[in-house]
Amino acid sequence: MFHPIGNKIIHLDEVDSTNNYAAKLVFDGKSVPGTVILADHQTAGRGQRSAVWTSNAGENMLLSIIFEHDNLAVADQFKLSQFVAVSLVQFLRKIGIKAAIKWPNDILVEKRKIAGVLIENQLSGSFVKSSIVGIGLNVNQLKFTDLQATSIRNEKGEFTSIQEVLYQLIASFNESAQSTQRGSQLEDLYLSNLFGFEVEQRFLDEEGEFTGIIKGVEMDGRLVVLKNGTQKKYDLKEISLLLV
Ligand code: BTN
């Protein structure tokens, strides 16, 4: 399922969005699987749910990785999300930061977001042909307009080289790809690092705020939440976990 990641690295000073740059490479048939596109600054960084992703120039890691799949069914696409989130958490643990996954693939440290992931898939029939995995990881930025954000520097109290982070992160991705191929259970790793798993949390769905418990995640990525004694399954746009 996975090609080695980071054999080719394209480093840009400035780009609209590394995901857009990667999408163009794929569209033009010029992509090499596992290519990493890194930018010091994005003029139109994009986040999930059509949000804007902002970052101080030169302070954070902004990258996209191109994945090409031999046999990934659309129904199994959440596996890639799990793989990315687990790899990020494992990387942060390795550098001494205790991080957790906020469904589906935000990365938190003590309820503060340290990284966000935007995955864009190119489909062919019922298969995912390729995916662009965009990652924004806060490295040296100290102040955020969103108070519920943090960075490696905030957590460790020291400047960290983005180049160093890049190489360590690529190593973590490749290690986790190898252990996945050897049969390690991504689902279990994902759930054991999932913020709020089996613990009462406040949520917001179309009916309003409620207290519920995350019971799991379906193969298609839907979140399973126990609400008023009934298990309900939610798509991304249908529920928010409230970090109160
Ligand atoms: C989110 O949490 O909303 C996802 C944020 C993803 C941001 C990264 S930064 C690199 C890549 N290029 C983009 O335009 N977005 C992703």
User: Which helix H or strand E contains 135, and what residues bound it?
Assistant: strand 127-137
pLDDT at 182: 75
DSSP letters for 181-223: HTT--HHHHHHHTBTTBTSEEEEEETTEEEEEEEEEE-TTSPE
Terminal Cα distance for the chain, rounded: 38
> pLDDT higher for 236 or 171?
171
117 lines ligand 1 (CB under 6 A): yes
106 lines ligand 1 (CB under 6 A): yes
CA 35 to chain centroid, in Å, comes to 17
Pocket test for ligand 1, best of 12, 19, 103, 113 (most atoms within 8 A of CB): 19
pLDDT, tens digit (0-9, with 9 covering 90-100), for 42-96: 999 999 988 999 999 999 999 999 999 999 999 999 999 999 999 999 999 999 9
Tell me the average pLDDT of the chain: 94
pLDDT at 50: 86
- The sheet with strand 240-242 has its strands ordered as 230-234, 223-227, 208-217, 200-205, 240-242
What's the rounded Cα separation, in Å, for the pair 149 and 147? 6
pLDDT at 1: 52
Stretch 234-239: mean pLDDT: 94
pLDDT, tens digit (0-9, with 9 covering 90-100), for 138-162: 999 999 987 799 999 999 999 999 9
Amino acid at 162: I
In this prediction, residue 244 has a pLDDT band, given cuts at 50, 70 and 90, of confident
Amino acid at 18: T
Q: What predicted TM-score, i.e. pTM, was given to this entire model?
A: 0.95
The β-bridge relationship of strands 9-15 and 36-42 is parallel
**Can the peptide bond before residue 104 be classed as cis, meaning omega within 30 degrees of 0?**
yes
212 lines ligand 1 (CB under 6 A): no
Stretch 33-39: mean pLDDT: 97
Per-residue CA distances from 218 to 85, 123, 199, 214 (Å):
16, 20, 18, 11
Pocket test for ligand 1, best of 11, 25, 46 (most atoms within 8 A of CB): 46
Partners of 12 in the β-ladder:
39
DSSP secondary-structure letter at 3? P
